[in-house]
Structure 1
């Protein structure tokens, strides 16, 4: 799985950070998925290799504008770029109603179908061979959701030592066994089932929207190798701000990730007051004091890759 951060600021954009947007790619094909689409997301996408023709679905976590105001413009640009492939819009019903009203009132005609998937209708919101996306409810001032993305791939591994014991040299017959064919060698039939094992690799990432209670994601994080979650404030600032905004601190998030044994954690959605060297250092220090896994602070246009072993690597913008 590959994650490209298109916006990592909370509420409003700043000089170096746009509001929320996250592109998700998998090894299953060219299709990719957009999680949230704050204003300006399409400008960030122009700085990546991603094509709007390959965008399979847009997943909106909640109705607040810093997570969805970029949606009509993005979909309009896709239409002007001659996109014809249908698109799924996975979102709360109010987002769909707002988008429909915007289409009507701005004379927006799209040359492709947009199918609404109501996140409240069922937990499984997207399914394709090897891919499942499920939504999980969060706690915010409006209904908010996280998306659990699971990617499964299958590969056949040869029992190399057993093959060497037969005397069969590496080559086309090895490849035939790996693809399920039985082969003849020295008068015997070597059965593929005896010399090849099917292995399933699973990668799971949980991508959260705005949320004041990280522990709500405990079930979603079962078996996950990566959690991406907002850390709008440090705990000190959150205590001063009070419960009204209903966001998480780095401390709350770190304590949950530690208790859930999630091995990798990416913090995002930072308040403008933390978007300097001192503020980001405070967020990381608060995280590392309570979390023993691999922690990262996302920047716009950072690219994170999660492999089948659960390892995360990052390419900085």
Structure 2
């Protein structure tokens, strides 16, 4: 699985970070899905190999502008560049009301089919080689996290059992390994499910929207290889800001990931007050805070593979569950 960060800032952009948007692709192939679509997401896409025409599904975590204001522009550009393939939009009902209002008031005309699915705990959607399910989060508006699980993992054939039952190697083996049931010349019917198993564990990524209670994702993170979660503040700053924004600190997310045994943690959605390291001191706007404070706090509470996302970072979650830079 490939993950590309198109925006990693919270609330408003900075000179280094755009607003929330994360792309997920299978390891091979060009189809992809997008989680959130902050302002100027389509501009960030120009700096990547991702084609808007191969985008199959957009998942919106919640209706706050830093997660969805880029939607109208991306949809309009798909129309202008000749898209004809259907596109699915999944999110809270307000996401469709927002797009519908833009279509009606700006004369936006989309010739390609745009299907809307209202997100719920019953969601089970397949796109770009993934199965997507959803979990409700704790934020000041309806907000969701998405579990993205790999489909089409190759099957491994139980050759020893076939030999023991007198089934000679031949075309039947290939059919069974493709998941097809087989009828032999002697009248026996072989069910693929009885002679195959997955060759490896499907890869699983959980991508959360804004959320002040990481434990909301306990069920979704079962057997997950990677959690991508907001860490808007350090715990000290979160206490200064107060509970009203309902965001997480690096400490809270890291503690949850450690307790849940998640091997890889990618933090994102950082407050603009956290500046990247440079030779210059942090700007006044940042209040003197550096992004390294987020990393340092998370490392104190999490022993797995920890990374802080930057715009246009590309990562590979390998078949062995390792998170590798691309």
User: CA shift at 1:113, angstroms?
Assistant: 1.2
* Counterpart check, 1:260 vs 2:260: yes
Residues 67-107 of structure 1: per-residue CA shift (max 9 Å, x gap): 00010010000000100111100011011011101101000
| Matches for 1:220-231 after TM superposition, within 5 Å | 220-231=220-231
User: CA shift at 1:198, angstroms?
Assistant: 4.4
User: CA shift at 1:177, angstroms?
Assistant: 8.2
User: CA shift at 1:128, angstroms?
Assistant: 5.1
Structure 1 residues 174 and 280 mapped into 2: Cα distance closer, same or farther (>3 Å)? farther
Structure 1 residues 53 and 239 mapped into 2: Cα distance closer, same or farther (>3 Å)? same
| TM-score normalised by structure 2 residue count | 0.84
Q: In structure 2, the residue corresponding to 1:207 is in which secondary structure?
A: strand
User: CA shift at 1:152, angstroms?
Assistant: 2.8
Does structure 1 conserve the Cα–Cα contact (< 8 Å) formed by 2:62 and 2:209? yes
Equivalent position of 2:130 in the other structure: 131
Aligned residues between the structures: 296
Equivalent position of 2:21 in the other structure: 21
Equivalent position of 1:69 in the other structure: 69
Larger strand percent: 1
CA–CA separation in structure 1 for the residues paired with 2:101 and 2:156:
53
Structure 1 residues 126 and 197 mapped into 2: Cα distance closer, same or farther (>3 Å)? closer
Structure 1 residues 282 and 155 mapped into 2: Cα distance closer, same or farther (>3 Å)? same
Does structure 2 conserve the Cα–Cα contact (< 8 Å) formed by 1:264 and 1:293? yes
Does structure 1 conserve the Cα–Cα contact (< 8 Å) formed by 2:61 and 2:145? yes
* Counterpart check, 1:179 vs 2:174: yes
How much is the aligned-residue C-alpha RMSD, in angstroms? 2.7
CA–CA separation in structure 2 for the residues paired with 1:235 and 1:156:
45
Equivalent position of 2:306 in the other structure: 295
Q: In structure 2, the residue corresponding to 1:202 is in which secondary structure?
A: coil
Structure 1 segments unaligned to the other structure (5+ residues): 163-172, 182-192
| Matches for 1:77-226 after TM superposition, within 5 Å | 77-120=77-120, 122-127=121-126, 131-157=130-156, 179-180=174-175, 198-200=197-199, 201-226=201-226
CA–CA separation in structure 1 for the residues paired with 2:127 and 2:58:
15
CA–CA separation in structure 2 for the residues paired with 1:128 and 1:233:
33
Structure 1 residues 101 and 287 mapped into 2: Cα distance closer, same or farther (>3 Å)? same
CA–CA separation in structure 2 for the residues paired with 1:64 and 1:108:
22
CA–CA separation in structure 1 for the residues paired with 2:234 and 2:139:
18
Residues 164-207 of structure 1: per-residue CA shift (max 9 Å, x gap): xxxxxxxxx999686359xxxxxxxxxxx9xx964344000000
Equivalent position of 1:35 in the other structure: 35
Does structure 2 conserve the Cα–Cα contact (< 8 Å) formed by 1:9 and 1:17? yes
